[in-house]
Amino acid sequence: MRTESRELLAVGIFGNKSRIGDRIEILLRRGRVSSPRVSANRVAASAIVLATLQLAGSLAPRWIAFAQQPLAFEVTSIKPNTIVSEIVKLGPPVGGRFTATNVSLKMLVMRAWKVKNFEISGGPRWIDSDRYDVAASAPENNIAEEQFKAMLQALIRDRFKFAAHRESKEMPIYALVSVRNGSKLPEAAGSCVVALPNPPPPPPLAPAQPPPVLCGGFLMDGSRLEGRRISMAQLNGALSNMLGRSVIDKTGYNGTFDVHLEFKPEGIAPLGGGGFGAPGGPAVDAGGADSFRPSVFTAVQQQLGLKLESQKGPVEILVIDHVEKPDAN
């Protein structure tokens, strides 16, 4: 039986079982008259191109992974803070440098994973009680929020040998609903300061001068909550911090509004790292003008036309699996 030179060429280069060889053999059978030398050149060129594409395809995931490799802090320092103080500083990096003063590990975890105090489970007591001063420098000056959280998470994992996982747990929650006569949410009309991605350090304020209200942010103390151009999600977050429970929005309201709440601080305890704790905790002295103010639940209803209803529902929590105290440096 005679074998065409074109068939031998395809088989010799790719083997009998090669699918690529079969395809090239079919192409050569389609009545295209050419010399074995020209066909060999074309087949060899095709083989080189295919091999190059195959190599590029195998390396592409590595190239992509390399290009998407996240930033990390280059130099870090974590030192115990033994000064007894209520002043805590924990903000975004400025000019590529991140500093935190008098912070607990739990505060760092809350900032890095965007969770609230009651959404963290497990871990020894010292993650709340021990305080640290943290200094870290980044290879770039402008760091986006999502990138900063990833970098802070990596720092916590590395220096505290931190490991955790998320799970859903049935817990008491508050549902925020509109009262029968409708909400009284005031339209966003108050003045506020637009937050910059990487703001410069703020100038010192006079003792009696309050800090400016950020657009989409709050001023909070033990008996007041004030915000400008607030969304319902942001209000839920602030109330969650104050009440120590997850607050779920069931109003269906999608606009922005201003908030000015004044209430009794009874049952609301100061909580390091933001928020005021859960009802039922140690109460702050409500003497003086505070004694004439309503509870936070009544204030929300009277001043915003909304109601906090106690319910139970699933809450995603961060469960600490392992943690160690950092080495001194």
Provide the β-strand partners of residue 78: 134
Q: Report the percent of the chain where pLDDT is more than 70.
A: 64
Mean pLDDT value across residues 257-265:
88
Q: What integer pLDDT is reported at residue 179 of this predicted model?
A: 87
Q: What is the chain's mean pLDDT, rounded?
A: 76
SS (H, E, C) the chain: CCCCHHHHHHHHHHCCCCHHHHHHHHHHHCCCCCCHHHHHHHHHHHHHHHHHHHHHHHHHHHHHHHHCCCCCCCEEEEEECCCCCCCCEECCCECCEEEEEEECHHHHHHHHHCCCHHHEECCCCHHHHCCEEEEEECCCCCCCHHHHHHHHHHHHHHHHCCEEEEEEEEEEEEEEEECCCCCCCCECCCCCECCCCCCCCCCCCCCCCCCCCEECCEEEECCEEEEEEECHHHHHHHHHHHHCCEEEECCCCCCCEEEEEECCCCCCCCCCCCCCCCCCCCCCCCCHHHHHCCCHHHHHHHHHCEEEEEEEEEEEEEEEEECCCCCCC
Q: What integer pLDDT is reported at residue 233 of this predicted model?
A: 92
Q: What integer pLDDT is reported at residue 285 of this predicted model?
A: 46
Binned at pLDDT 50, 70 and 90, residue 137 comes out as very high
Q: What integer pLDDT is reported at residue 41 of this predicted model?
A: 57
Instruction: Specify the amino acid at residue 12.
Output: G
Instruction: Specify the amino acid at residue 42.
Output: R
Mean pLDDT value across residues 83-112:
90
User: Is the pLDDT confidence value at 107 over 50?
Assistant: yes
Mean pLDDT value across residues 23-50:
52
Q: Report the percent of the chain where pLDDT is more than 90.
A: 36
User: Is the pLDDT confidence value at 280 over 50?
Assistant: no
User: Is the pLDDT confidence value at 34 over 70?
Assistant: no
Q: What integer pLDDT is reported at residue 292 of this predicted model?
A: 76
Binned at pLDDT 50, 70 and 90, residue 221 comes out as confident
User: Is the pLDDT confidence value at 72 over 80?
Assistant: yes
pTM of the model: 0.64
Binned at pLDDT 50, 70 and 90, residue 85 comes out as confident
pLDDT greater at residue 261 or residue 29: 261
Torsion of CA 302, 305, 306, 308, to 10 degrees: 20
Question: What would the two tokens of residue 58 be?
Answer: 């195998």
Among 89-93, 166-170, 202-206, 303-307, which stretch is predicted with the lowest mean pLDDT?
202-206
**What is the Cα 174 distance to its own chain's centre?**
23
Q: What integer pLDDT is reported at residue 200 of this predicted model?
A: 52
Among 8-17, 225-234, 266-275, which stretch is predicted with the lowest mean pLDDT?
8-17
